[in-house]
């Protein structure tokens, strides 16, 4: 690899925001035909570095080279014209427009008199979609596509030029396993065409499966580059967070209390049916299953966002009806939602207000909201969760993805609920913070909270749960204790093997 000319090289990149030195002299090289992972904790500067490369942000200092020729990326369009395309962490498509319009936005093919050449537009788009093997066509409205397919649209957009380098910023965060396989095929195809691929992810298994090299950032500084085949998770983690993690199960020995929540034969249309389980105080119950197994819908029903079609919910032994989230909160149920953008955060608002939003009424003494009390809550959870922000005044939209997630968790923890439901609590969270959040979940249980954790990551479920409820297609297939569960039995249960016996 050494005697080849790099496809791209960044040197000494500095980028500051008010109060934050996001990049502190970072250098980074991408070779043609390699898959190069960019790793680092939440807020380390990964997205910022790629935004500099993609022409979205101008650096304060530093230089970008294309095949060793110095260049300036003056805008995303300009970067794209130079062969650098960016598949964003947060998708940026227009829902109302067709697939074709989204792909060619700003550069629609024109006929004479400036009229859009629709035939050409749809034909060229379909030709690109065909190479990606997707099951939709150019005329489809983007808002009607799944997240995975929307991502395919972003990828198709990248392929309207002969790319030199393609940047994927946490592309698998909301993909199912099958969708990931398709994505990895696309990446391997790009690689075989000599395109340099930059791949940002917090998921070690993926990094070790598809990348050739791994570069690590920490606190805006470049920490080094490793050959994937010659390193391991421990070494990478150490480079990322400067210490070694104890990933063994947190052996908290705590007393289980009385049953806090009991659900009996709960059904909700065809989303889930005949679901029964209990959660004791001091217990963490993990819900494991494939995407679409009905776990999120159960959580939403418990939180008053859906009305059950039959069955009952009991809190502290008493049957209750939960009509709304306000109702759920009053009764001591909190839900940390799966989709932080849609349900958890107001991006334009500052960190403190986002965190204390649901409880403003409790803190309000007369007409004045107690500013001091709110800041105290924010400070407490910032320390507890290690949220990286210059202060509570920072707009949440400016935080890195993982730190946004921590704000959401802090918000619901600060309500001190009796029953806490967390849906995919560590999606997009780096390994260090992930283990902090796992410890925090165990600690909350030991303080007497009843906790439900919904997760699609098996190691996570195995790590935090006292009991595991395995779901398939809206039904509870099996329940396991932490002592008896094995990976094999869990996989069997969630893939519906033996489902006919239960149904």
Binding footprint of Mg ion on the chain (CB under 5 A): 47, 401
Report the residue number, 98 or 400, with the smaller CB distance to ligand ATP: 400
Q: Which of 495, 448, 490 is nearest to 469 (CA)?
A: 490
- CA–CA dist 122, 117 (Å, integer): 9
Q: How far is the CB of 47 from Mg ion (least distance, A)?
A: 3
Q: How far is the CB of 170 from Mg ion (least distance, A)?
A: 6
- CA–CA dist 16, 33 (Å, integer): 31
Q: How far is the CB of 169 from ligand ATP (least distance, A)?
A: 7
Contact 403, 395 (CB under 8 A): no
Report the residue number, 173 or 482, with the smaller CB distance to ligand ATP: 173
Q: b/e map of 318-356 (b: 16 or more CB within 10 Å)?
A: eeeebeebeebbebbbbbbbbebeeebbeeeebbbbbbb
Q: How far is the CB of 292 from ligand ATP (least distance, A)?
A: 26
Q: How far is the CB of 353 from ligand ATP (least distance, A)?
A: 17
Residues 374-393 touching ligand ATP, rule: CB under 6 A, are: 388
Report the residue number, 138 or 431, with the smaller CB distance to Mg ion: 431
Contact 42, 219 (CB under 8 A): no
Report the residue number, 38 or 263, with the smaller CB distance to Mg ion: 38
Q: How far is the CB of 405 from ligand ATP (least distance, A)?
A: 8
Report the residue number, 400 or 414, with the smaller CB distance to ligand ATP: 400
Contact 46, 39 (CB under 8 A): yes
Contact 477, 494 (CB under 8 A): yes
Strands 310-315 and 318-320 turn out to be antiparallel
Report the residue number, 37 or 421, with the smaller CB distance to ligand ATP: 37
354 binds ligand ATP, rule: CB under 6 A: no
Site for ligand ATP (CB under 6 A): how many residues?
Answer: 19
Q: How far is the CB of 12 from ligand ATP (least distance, A)?
A: 17
Contact 384, 327 (CB under 8 A): no
408 binds ligand ATP, rule: CB under 6 A: no
Contact 414, 377 (CB under 8 A): yes
Report the residue number, 356 or 403, with the smaller CB distance to Mg ion: 403
Contact 455, 424 (CB under 8 A): yes
Q: Which of 399, 409, 413, 419 binds ligand ATP (CB under 6 A)?
A: 399
Q: How far is the CB of 431 from Mg ion (least distance, A)?
A: 15
Q: What is the 3-state secondary structure (H, E, C) of 175-203?
A: CCHHHHHHHHHHHHHHHHCCCEEEEECCC
Given the structure tokens 């519906």, which residue do they identify?
496
Q: b/e map of 441-478 (b: 16 or more CB within 10 Å)?
A: bbebbeebbbbbbbbbbeebbbbbbbbbbbbbbbbbbb
402 binds ligand ATP, rule: CB under 6 A: yes
Q: How far is the CB of 429 from ligand ATP (least distance, A)?
A: 8
Window contacting ligand ATP (CB under 6 A); options: 117-125, 286-294, 312-320, 395-403? 395-403
Task: Give residue 410's Cα distance to chain centre.
Answer: 17
Q: Which of 54, 304, 337, 401 binds ligand ATP (CB under 6 A)?
A: 401
Tell me, residue by residue from 15 to 54, as one string, x for binding to ligand ATP by CB under 6 A and - for no binding: --x--x-x-----------------x-xxxxxxx------
Q: b/e map of 109-122 (b: 16 or more CB within 10 Å)?
A: eeeeeeeeebeebb
Tell me, residue by residue from 428 to 457, as one string, x for binding to ligand ATP by CB under 6 A and - for no binding: --x---------------------------
Contact 40, 46 (CB under 8 A): yes
Contact 465, 446 (CB under 8 A): no
Report the residue number, 29 or 47, with the smaller CB distance to Mg ion: 47
Report the residue number, 40 or 425, with the smaller CB distance to ligand ATP: 40
Residues 309-338 touching ligand ATP, rule: CB under 6 A, are: none
Window contacting ligand ATP (CB under 6 A); options: 133-141, 267-275, 398-406, 453-461? 398-406
Q: How far is the CB of 319 from ligand ATP (least distance, A)?
A: 42
Report the residue number, 104 or 168, with the smaller CB distance to Mg ion: 168
Residues that bind ligand ATP (CB under 6 A): 17, 20, 22, 40, 42-48, 388, 398-403, 430
């Amino acid at each position: 690899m050494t005697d080849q000319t790099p496809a791209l090289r960044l040197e000494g990149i500095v980028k500051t925001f008010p109060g934050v030195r996001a990049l502190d002299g970072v250098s980074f090289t991408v070779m043609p035909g390699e898959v190069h992972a960019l790793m680092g904790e939440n807020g380390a500067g990964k997205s910022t570095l790629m935004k500099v490369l993609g022409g979205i942000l101008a650096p304060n200092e530093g230089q970008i080279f294309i095949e060793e020729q110095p260049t300036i990326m003056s805008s995303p369009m300009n970067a794209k014209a130079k062969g650098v395309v960016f598949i964003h962490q947060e998708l940026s498509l227009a829902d109302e427009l067709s697939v074709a319009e989204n792909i060619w936005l700003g550069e629609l093919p024109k006929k004479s008199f400036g009229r859009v050449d629709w035939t050409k537009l749809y034909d060229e788009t379909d030709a690109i979609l065909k190479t990606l093997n997707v099951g939709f066509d150019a005329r489809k409205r983007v808002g009607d596509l799944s997240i995975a397919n929307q991502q395919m649209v972003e990828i198709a957009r990248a392929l309207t030029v002969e790319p030199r380098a393609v940047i994927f910023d946490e592309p698998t965060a909301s993909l199912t396993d099958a969708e990931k396989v398709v994505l990895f095929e696309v990446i391997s195809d790009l690689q075989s065409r000599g395109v340099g691929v930059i791949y940002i992810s917090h998921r070690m298994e993926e990094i070790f499966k598809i990348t050739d090299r791994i570069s690590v950032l920490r606190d805006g500084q470049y920490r080094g580059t490793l050959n994937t085949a010659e390193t391991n998770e421990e070494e990478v983690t150490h480079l990322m967070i400067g210490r070694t993690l104890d990933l063994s199960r947190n052996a908290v020995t705590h007393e289980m209390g009385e049953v806090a929540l009991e659900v009996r034969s709960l059904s909700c249309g065809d989303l889930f049916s005949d679901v029964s389980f209990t959660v004791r105080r001091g217990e963490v119950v993990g819900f494991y299953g494939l995407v679409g197994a009905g776990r999120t819908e159960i959580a939403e029903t418990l939180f008053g966002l859906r009305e059950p079609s039959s069955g009952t919910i009991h809190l502290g032994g008493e049957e209750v009806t939960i009509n709304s989230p306000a109702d759920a909160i009053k009764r001591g149920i909190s839900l940390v939602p799966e989709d932080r953008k849609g349900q958890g955060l107001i991006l334009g608002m500052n960190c403190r207000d986002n965190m204390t939003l649901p409880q403003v009424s409790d803190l309000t003494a007369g007409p004045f909201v107690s500013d001091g009390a709110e800041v105290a809550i924010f400070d407490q959870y910032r320390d507890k969760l290690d949220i990286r922000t210059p202060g509570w005044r920072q707009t949440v939209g400016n935080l890195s993805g993982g730190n946004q997630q921590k704000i959401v968790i802090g918000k619901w923890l600060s309500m001190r609920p009796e029953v806490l439901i967390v849906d995919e609590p560590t999606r997009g969270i780096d390994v260090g913070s992930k283990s902090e959040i796992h410890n925090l979940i165990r600690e909350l249980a030991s303080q007497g909270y009843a906790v439900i954790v919904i997760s699609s990551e098996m190691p996570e479920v195995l790590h935090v749960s006292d009991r595991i409820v395995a779901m398939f297609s809206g039904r509870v297939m099996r329940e396991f204790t932490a002592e008896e569960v094995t990976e094999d039995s869990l996989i069997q249960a969630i893939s519906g093997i033996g489902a006919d016996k239960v149904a």
